[in-house]
Structure 1
């Protein structure tokens, strides 16, 4: 005798739960899309320009100038505390404070320039100015380590 497979259909409550799960997934996906759209609008409001209108090279330069600025600041501050210095501790502290505040003031100036200059001057001008500041801090850091000839 052959056994017949009996197929049990999902009851109405099981189908309802499955539909509710699908609806929740769709709703969650729509919420994520809405959040991404809101973040993009916030960035565009900050930049003053729609993102597709900014050239790709400018966004690449944003990464490069932040790299130069961060490495430069690190080189400057680390050279003050390096082991090859022969200054006693009191002289080191008196030399460190002014340079630290100068570097902090320069970093704050670049940050304020980005906030103010992006809308008024545009993305390319702001990017190139910050690139020059980053390169300046990078070479200042290299010079403080006596790495330049």
Structure 2
């Protein structure tokens, strides 16, 4: 899937993006409240607060720290290997490409360099790659 910073505005994705932001904020506030009272909620309070900002206005949501997607690989359901979906496929393990060779390739190193310079919003930074500190500011 090609990178699209404004995917949430597209008609074909309307069914995914929440329509009632006030309800989203209430749900996240309730999750934060429960997390603070010791309920087992997997996401930290800081991460839930970041979700609130993201859903309020994803176009204004930017990270303060550098992206950390250069430290892991992503494998798609068809075996395509990425560091970041934005920068394209580096190989395919189902087709016999060696993951170690992909990771150590010049192409992967070039992508890691691009990732380190990236300043775009990205849902990966809220989900699997959220770091413990609050790595975002609102412009």
Query: Above 0.5 in TM-score?
Result: no
The structure richer in strand per residue is 2
The structure richer in helix per residue is 1
> Please, what TM-score do these two structures have when normalized by structure 2?
0.23
Greater Rg over alpha carbons, structure: 1
The one of the two structures with greater contact order (alpha-carbon pairs below 8 A, sep at least 6) is: 1
